[in-house]
Amino acid sequence: MKEEIISNLKNIVGKDFVISDLSQMQSYLYDETETLLRPKACEDCVVVKPGSSEEVSKIVKYANKVLIPVVPRGGGTGLCGATIPLKPSIMLSLERLDKIVELDEENLMITVEAGVTLAGLLERLNKHEKLFFPIHPGDEGAQIGGMVAENAGGVNAVRHGIMRNHIKALEVVLPTGELVSLGNKLLKNNMGYDLLNMIIGSEGTLGIVTKATLRLYTKTSNAGTLVVSFDGRKDASLAVSKILQEGITPLAVEYMERFVALESAKHIGKVWPATKGSVDLIFILNEATEDDLYARSEKIVELCEQYNAIDSLIAETTKDQRNILEIRSNAYTAFKENVADALDIAVPPASVPSLIDDLIKIADKYHTVTPSVGHIADGNVHNFIMLENGKLPVCFEDIKEEMYKAAMKYGGTVTAEHGTGKTRKKHMSLQYSEREIEIMKGIKKIFDPNMILNPGTIVN
Amino acid sequence: MKEEIISNLKNIVGKDFVISDLSQMQSYLYDETETLLRPKACEDCVVVKPGSSEEVSKIVKYANKVLIPVVPRGGGTGLCGATIPLKPSIMLSLERLDKIVELDEENLMITVEAGVTLAGLLERLNKHEKLFFPIHPGDEGAQIGGMVAENAGGVNAVRHGIMRNHIKALEVVLPTGELVSLGNKLLKNNMGYDLLNMIIGSEGTLGIVTKATLRLYTKTSNAGTLVVSFDGRKDASLAVSKILQEGITPLAVEYMERFVALESAKHIGKVWPATKGSVDLIFILNEATEDDLYARSEKIVELCEQYNAIDSLIAETTKDQRNILEIRSNAYTAFKENVADALDIAVPPASVPSLIDDLIKIADKYHTVTPSVGHIADGNVHNFIMLENGKLPVCFEDIKEEMYKAAMKYGGTVTAEHGTGKTRKKHMSLQYSEREIEIMKGIKKIFDPNMILNPGTIVN
């Protein structure tokens, strides 16, 4: 990286907040994308850590002047290589924008800077008697700005939807450097085109989020976790469908194949509590009253039994609940060493069993397995393509392509919650027509005429 | 209109579905915008009524060839002149696309053609034991395509939000004529940029909606309507804030000044049930069980009493509930003859009482009154600017400008749910920076390079 650029960045943010030494830069060059899958990062970069939105704006304006890419970066927990630089770039870390700006109890909203981590947000809200924020994508090291940029999902989507539903306002530095406020503490706004929703999920290509105002909700404090076991995934899936049709909306409904649960439990030295059957549904409930919790648990078990559930157990103590959830959330890490790619397909919820059948058939055809877990009530399946002797399988691209095409058969998406980034963009044409992709490229160009922001991600 | 154009349109849709005679065309040239406020329609138009999405696509392709504007049109219930033609145009009515395509019980979704009216959708769902659609903007003559294009709101937004939250997929004819499907029966999709959300609320300028897939929810059937009376709007507003903070989310919370309620009741020959106080809150509840209904009603009254509520009554019979809701929904019609403009401001919910204070001060300054009703829990106030002797008041533009500026003080919006259209576009710069408006114009140009679709609306 040119000395002049480094020196100009130091003038903007102060010399302590610019890293130009490669050895100190490593942790800023990659995210959590699978090692063999992620693109190689360009190492001719400089890391800059602005301390204010105004500094972010100055950096972007400067980048437009010298035409060098800017790659905005949150907690680095992404899974699609969105923040891996492909060209010599300014890596712009939001980590110093870590203040909780305002907890507005009257409007039930919180405003935070982009670098506040999910852990930081939760810590603040845990101290509050009544209010909570529902989106939890798993890794609490994720920063709010990143969660906005990636339109994070997570287990609680069954009841609460996705990040997009809860973002009321953003402060954004546009790719041309202007600092703008989109939205406000408003529940409705129909003026002009909806630029707020265009920024959400745009993965740092249409703007750098510097501040976010999020909707908060009142806590319910009667929690329980229910594990219901089945012998077949079809029955499990039909039971979920029936439960939702009955007007029961658990916080989360997770699907896990038993061998995945056992492997995950072993990995973290715990015991999976269910013993009968081959697949499990995990229902996370959190209700207004204890009576509601019991009534809903009973109803869920009753409906599952109509679909041949063979066993059920309820965890009520915090310890037992945590045990189950830890095993669920380690399903990926337990396999990670052997995972080539963790897919992020979604299909219409009712099509999940057929999709999983198809995925297994494809794995069989290529003499491999494809362990599956998923946010089943959302139609979102995470199935793994496994490594072969520590390497990408010979037919890796074919396997993946066939799996994606299986999803397309049901009108599905290649990525439900992890994002397009750099690793999934080549499959965009499976899902979108030429004209749609052309429009997306046009939108990028309108926001970012010099193509400064996060090149190589999504459509640019 | 040139004979050649009329004849070519007849070739596409058949001669019975083209209207070129001005006397038969009148009802297609205006919407429900206030008479003195709406622009004058260009009468050199032709009305065409396609019978399929493919015909819509053909019409738009033809319009691009001969460079004539196309104005898509739903039920004509809009309030911002979005569908009033300013130039010689093809008025494209979606009325014949009136089929309910599929009620998908397993995925809790319904797919309808754009010309299905809200009444038609409700009629179909009323026949279903369990499922309902929550958005109700008031006039059941509204067509679903129009509700998508305008991102309709309505009273139930407190619990259910706005149209945008419930649209899973759209079939759209792009301004260049391509027929595309955006979204699907998916609860999560993070592939590429979100064109679906860009179309929603774009008021027929970025695409013509021909089909929509909407999320459905399970019915709750214990309904009650509560009227709580206060002596001051500040207390009423604080009570609403407190109720939401306590985790109670009624279906709707409406605010009505007493003199508005009395005038409205008189207008339709009914009696407003509350007698004490000067403003009323109307809480519409609909809960899973009768016990829930009572518990919530009691809690609401208790919380209102903490904020000096002076009277309350609950309507449980269908007749009594309907009486209250009819008086509420006639608040506008009761005054309509004397209304110059019904504003659609929203501010952060907690700022409503201050906003109303400001609005009244502005009205006082200009020696007029400004009756207010509103979706108070959403921060959305509809206050009227009154006519003077049947004419727009001399200072009409000043009054309006001052009222909008009052909204801006709280970070508000000029239009919460009625849309920008042609009547509110000149106030866009109050709310958005030059660069934001430039981006909106750029987006329009990307979707619609020939500027064919609905010119004069929003930014073009």
Residue ranges, comma separated, of all CATH 3.30.70.2740 domains in chain A are: 337-431
Query: Measured between CB atoms, which of A192, A417, A435 is closest to B459?
Result: A192
Nearest in space to B415 (alpha carbons), one of B355, B329, B357, B347: B347
Which CATH code fits A3-93?
3.30.43.10
CB contact under 8 A, B439 and A447: yes
Within 8 A of A104 by CB-CB distance, chain B residues are 348, 350
| Residue B427 tokens, joined | 């106030």
Nearest in space to B279 (alpha carbons), one of B247, B303, B305, B255: B255
- Give the chain A residue nearest B216 (alpha carbons): A245
CB contact under 8 A, B188 and A380: yes
Nearest in space to B380 (alpha carbons), one of B416, B433, B343, B335: B416
CB contact under 8 A, A379 and B151: no
User: For chain B, what's the residue count?
Assistant: 460
Q: For residue B392, what pLDDT is reported?
A: 95
Q: For residue A362, what pLDDT is reported?
A: 98
Q: Do B362 and B405 form a contact (C-beta atoms < 8 A)?
A: no
Q: Do A60 and A180 form a contact (C-beta atoms < 8 A)?
A: no
**How open is the CA angle A241-A242-A244, to the nearest 5 degrees?**
70
Q: Rounded to whole angstroms, how far apart are CA atoms B153 and B374?
A: 12
**B129 in contact with chain A, both atoms CB, cutoff 8 A:** no
**A243 in contact with chain B, both atoms CB, cutoff 8 A:** no
Within 8 A of B185 by CB-CB distance, chain A residues are 348-349, 379, 411
Q: Rounded to whole angstroms, how far apart are CA atoms B320 and B314?
A: 9
Q: Do A29 and A45 form a contact (C-beta atoms < 8 A)?
A: yes
Q: What is the mean pLDDT of residues B38-42?
A: 97
Q: Classify residue A387 by its DSSP letter.
A: P
Q: Would you say domain A100-218 falls under CATH 3.30.465.10?
A: yes
- Give the chain B residue nearest A221 (alpha carbons): B247
Per-residue pLDDT reduced to its tens digit, A418-427 = 999 999 999 9
Measured in angstroms, the CA of A190 and the nearest CA of chain B are apart by 5
Q: Do B458 and B442 form a contact (C-beta atoms < 8 A)?
A: no
**A129 in contact with chain B, both atoms CB, cutoff 8 A:** no
**B458 in contact with chain A, both atoms CB, cutoff 8 A:** yes
Q: Quickly tell me which residue has 């926001």 as its tokens.
A: A447
Q: Which of residues 143-162 of A touch B (CB under 8 A)?
A: 150-151, 153, 157, 161-162
CB contact under 8 A, B187 and A349: yes
Interface test with chain A among B57, B109, B187, B202, by most A beta carbons within 10 Å: B187
| Residue B187 tokens, joined | 């609860």
Q: For residue B45, what pLDDT is reported?
A: 98
Within 8 A of A182 by CB-CB distance, chain B residues are 436
Q: Do B380 and A188 form a contact (C-beta atoms < 8 A)?
A: yes
Q: What percent of chain B has pLDDT over 70?
A: 100
Measured in angstroms, the CA of B19 and the nearest CA of chain A are apart by 32
- Give the chain B residue nearest A438 (alpha carbons): B446
- ipTM of this predicted structure: 0.96
B81: which residues sit within 8 A by CB, 6+ positions away?
Answer: B31, B33, B37, B38, B39, B421, B422, B423, B457
Q: Rounded to whole angstroms, how far apart are CA atoms B170 and B184?
A: 8
The fold of the A337-431 domain, in CATH, is: Alpha-Beta Plaits (3.30.70)
Query: Measured between CB atoms, which of A157, A188, A447 is closest to B417?
Result: A188
Res B23 pLDDT > 90: yes
Cβ atoms < 10 Å from Cβ of A17: 18
Measured in angstroms, the CA of B145 and the nearest CA of chain A are apart by 16
Residue ranges, comma separated, of all CATH 3.30.43.10 domains in chain A are: 3-93
* Res. B33 pLDDT band, cuts 50 70 90: very high
**A355 in contact with chain B, both atoms CB, cutoff 8 A:** no
| Residue B29 tokens, joined | 């040239």
Phi, psi for B13 (deg, rounded to 5): -110, -5
DSSP string, A331-375: HHHHHHTTEEEE-BEE--GGGHHHHHHHHHHHHHHTT----EEEE
Within 8 A of B413 by CB-CB distance, chain A residues are 184, 186, 188-191
HSE (side-chain half, CA atoms, 13 Å) at A369? 8
Q: For residue B434, what pLDDT is reported?
A: 96
Residue ranges, comma separated, of all CATH 3.30.70.2190 domains in chain B are: 222-331
DSSP string, A261-288: HHHHHHHTT---S--SSSEEEEEEEEES
Q: Tens-digit pLDDT profile for chain A (460 aa)?
A: 999 999 999 999 999 999 999 999 999 999 999 999 999 999 999 999 999 999 999 999 999 999 999 999 999 999 999 999 999 999 999 999 999 999 999 999 999 999 999 999 999 999 999 999 999 998 999 999 999 999 999 999 999 999 999 999 999 999 999 999 999 999 999 999 999 999 999 999 999 999 999 999 999 889 999 999 999 888 998 999 899 989 899 999 999 999 999 999 999 999 999 999 999 999 999 998 899 999 999 999 999 999 999 999 999 899 999 999 999 999 999 998 999 999 999 999 999 989 999 999 999 999 999 999 999 999 999 999 999 999 999 999 999 999 999 999 999 999 999 999 999 999 999 999 999 999 999 999 999 999 999 999 999 8
Nearest in space to A165 (alpha carbons), one of A116, A98, A215: A215
Q: For residue B460, what pLDDT is reported?
A: 79
Residue ranges, comma separated, of all CATH 3.30.465.10 domains in chain A are: 100-218
Surface-to-core class of residue A58, CB atoms within 10 Å of its CB (0-12 exposed, 13-18 middle, 19+ buried): buried
- CATH among 3.30.499.10, 1.10.8.60, 2.170.130.10, 3.30.70.2190 for A222-331: 3.30.70.2190
- Give the chain B residue nearest A407 (alpha carbons): B186
Q: Which of residues 285-314 of A touch B (CB under 8 A)?
A: 288
* Res. B101 pLDDT band, cuts 50 70 90: very high
Within 8 A of A352 by CB-CB distance, chain B residues are none
| Residue A30 tokens, joined | 């990659």
CB contact under 8 A, A218 and B245: yes
Per-residue pLDDT reduced to its tens digit, B336-375 = 899 999 999 999 999 998 999 999 999 999 999 999 999 9
Q: For residue A460, what pLDDT is reported?
A: 80
A26: which residues sit within 8 A by CB, 6+ positions away?
Answer: none
Q: Which of residues 405-444 of A touch B (CB under 8 A)?
A: 411-420, 424, 428, 431-433, 435-437, 439-440, 442-444
CB contact under 8 A, A191 and B431: yes
- 3-state secondary structure at position B223: strand
Task: Tell me which of A237 and B181 has the higher pLDDT.
Answer: B181
Q: Rounded to whole angstroms, how far apart are CA atoms B397 and B393?
A: 9
Res B175 pLDDT > 90: yes
Q: Rounded to whole angstroms, how far apart are CA atoms B179 and B418?
A: 27
Q: Rounded to whole angstroms, how far apart are CA atoms A211 and A202?
A: 15
Q: For residue B316, what pLDDT is reported?
A: 86
Start-to-end CA distance of chain A, whole Å, equals: 23
CB contact under 8 A, A379 and B187: yes
Cβ atoms < 10 Å from Cβ of B408: 17
Which CATH code fits B337-421?
3.30.70.2740
CB contact under 8 A, B416 and A107: no
CB contact under 8 A, B415 and A349: no
**A194 in contact with chain B, both atoms CB, cutoff 8 A:** yes
Query: Measured between CB atoms, which of A411, A415, A446 is closest to B443?
Result: A446
DSSP H stretches of helix in B127-205: 144-149, 157-160, 195-199
What is the largest distance, in Å, between two alpha-carbon atoms of chain A?
A: 70
* Res. B250 pLDDT band, cuts 50 70 90: very high
Q: Rounded to whole angstroms, how far apart are CA atoms A346 and A415?
A: 7
Res B335 pLDDT > 90: yes
Q: For residue A86, what pLDDT is reported?
A: 97
Q: Rounded to whole angstroms, how far apart are CA atoms A439 and B224?
A: 48
Output b/e per residue, A102-137; b: 16+ Cβ within 10 A. Answer: ebbbbbbbbbbbbbbbbebbeebbeeeeebbbbbbb
- From the centroid of its chain, how far is CA B400? 20
> Contacts for A317-323 with beta carbons within 8 Å, 24 or more apart?
A320/A225, A320/A273, A321/A223, A321/A224, A321/A225, A323/A270, A323/A271, A323/A273
Q: Rounded to whole angstroms, how far apart are CA atoms B432 and B441?
A: 12
Interface test with chain B among A107, A188, A296, A427, by most B beta carbons within 10 Å: A188
Within 8 A of A348 by CB-CB distance, chain B residues are 104, 107, 109, 184-186
Q: Rounded to whole angstroms, how far apart are CA atoms A75 and A32?
A: 10
Q: Do A458 and B192 form a contact (C-beta atoms < 8 A)?
A: yes
Q: Do A299 and A249 form a contact (C-beta atoms < 8 A)?
A: no
Q: Rounded to whole angstroms, how far apart are CA atoms B417 and A57?
A: 32
Within 8 A of A444 by CB-CB distance, chain B residues are 193
Q: Do A46 and A6 form a contact (C-beta atoms < 8 A)?
A: yes
**A137 in contact with chain B, both atoms CB, cutoff 8 A:** no
CB contact under 8 A, B432 and A192: yes
Partners of residue A341 on adjacent β-strands: A385
* Res. B288 pLDDT band, cuts 50 70 90: confident
The CA–CA distances, whole Å, from B229 to A375, A450, B155, B257, B446 equal 46, 58, 19, 10, 51
User: Beta strand B345-346 with A345-346: parallel, antiparallel or unpaired?
Assistant: unpaired
B40: which residues sit within 8 A by CB, 6+ positions away?
Answer: none
Helices (H) then strands (E): counts for chain B = 16, 19
